Structure 1
Amino acid sequence: MSHTAHIPSHRKPRQRASKTALRAGVAGGVLSTIAVAGAAGPAQAEPVTQTIEMPTITAGLSTSVAASAQATQLVALDLETQAAEDAAATAAAKTATKAKAEAVRKAEAEKKAKAAAKAKAEAAERASRTAERTTLSASTGSSASASSSSRVSSSATGSAASVVAFAQSQVGDAYVSGGTGPNSWDCSGLVQAAFRTVGVDLPRVSQDQSTAGTQVSLDNLQPGDILYWGGAGSAYHVGIYVGGGQFVGAQNSSTGVVQKSLDYDPPSGAVRVL
């Protein structure tokens, strides 16, 4: 047997025995460690039992959740209350707006009713005065009464007589600046209205009326002539000559519409339209 063949048969078994012993020692140590850990296990379980107190934690959490839920309910209740208050305020505002609109409507209706009643009363008064003036005009035109004939010159005829009759029927009315009747006049408003009864449309103001016809001498006046005070084209007052040396005019707020002699307030000139 060779030297080489002898070595494997004697040395290799030893090596395996040594490794087996080492492995057995390691395994034994591991098993011992496991055994010690197993023995020590029960002693380390006691802190776990003391730490896990689920009822206490659960009770605290339940209290917090309940408090949070109550707070949420209170907030929701506050929001609901605020919403109800806002809705009530909006409804009240709408009601107030409607009430105000209704009050305005009623006030307007009452105002219109008063205006209509006033207009009706004025119309009735105008109708009454018109009837009186018609009677007076007819009496004057036909010379049926002595008083009328004394007011109007016997030479007043036709349109001139109507103008004179209208002017005389306004005697006693009030003077109001800018007045055009039926119960108050200014000087040019009265003259314009008198000539309108015979279809003659005169200018509105004294300055224009003083040049509306043919200039005539104050020594050659006829009933129905327009008298003016001031310059022709710049007159500040007008009246109507009614004959017999007299005129009718809306003089001022103190006298109103009067019939006076030319000597009372001598005019500056005259124009003839008819």
Structure 2
Amino acid sequence: MSHTAHIPSHRKPRRSASKLALRAGVAGGVLSTIAVAGAAGPANAEPVTETIEMPTLGALDAELASAVSASAEASQQEALDLSLRAQEDAAYKKAAQEAKKAKAEADRKAEAERAEKAREEARERASRTAERTTLSASASSDSSGRSSFSGETQVASGSAAAIVAFARAQVGDAYVSGGTGPNSWDCSGLVQAAYRQAGIDLPRVSSSQSSMGTSVSLSNLQPGDILYWGSRSGSYHVAIYVGGGMYVGAQNPSTGVVERSLDWDTPSGAVRIL
């Protein structure tokens, strides 16, 4: 016999895996049933049965849909709240800007009203000042018998206008004894320069200037007349009448050239050269 001839095995044939699993499952089930029955109590006790319901796939889908819906509603509500807050913030910002603009406009109007009121008060003060000046120039005769001064507005013309304009243009200049301009004067130097504007040459000193022309009353003065203090032939001071009860003269070192009312320093007389 060949050494490769088939020799029957003495081993038992293997059972298939599926049959073993089946037998094991049956055995396990029998043993489990016996164990449960033994633990339940006496043989005559009725077995306890309990049904455990497992959720179905449909129920899970419904709960999931409900949760998703609730989440969507919450997100929508949050978005709505954010939108409302944004609208409220925008409305507040707009209201604040409008209030600021309204306040600025109110302040501007109030400032304009204050400025207009100040201008009106200034006009009233100027008017009262002019009235007082006119009243002051219209003084009546006093106990010494001096004549009253006319406060009526008088407009200079021709040569008189040139003399008055020049004299008033020097108001504010300094007084210097012997001064003949252009920025400092004494009384007769100013009168001489003013009359030169009308083409008239006057003497240099006050006493000679007051001796010229025709003597006129202080109540009948005209712009351009020469006022003097002291006697006509021996005057120590002269000035130019500019109308409205006012005169311009180089008074003294402390005042310089000024425009004053006749009542401030009443002259002794006047002469008319024009």
Give the structure-2-normalised TM-score: 0.44
Whichever structure has more helix as a proportion of its residues is: 1
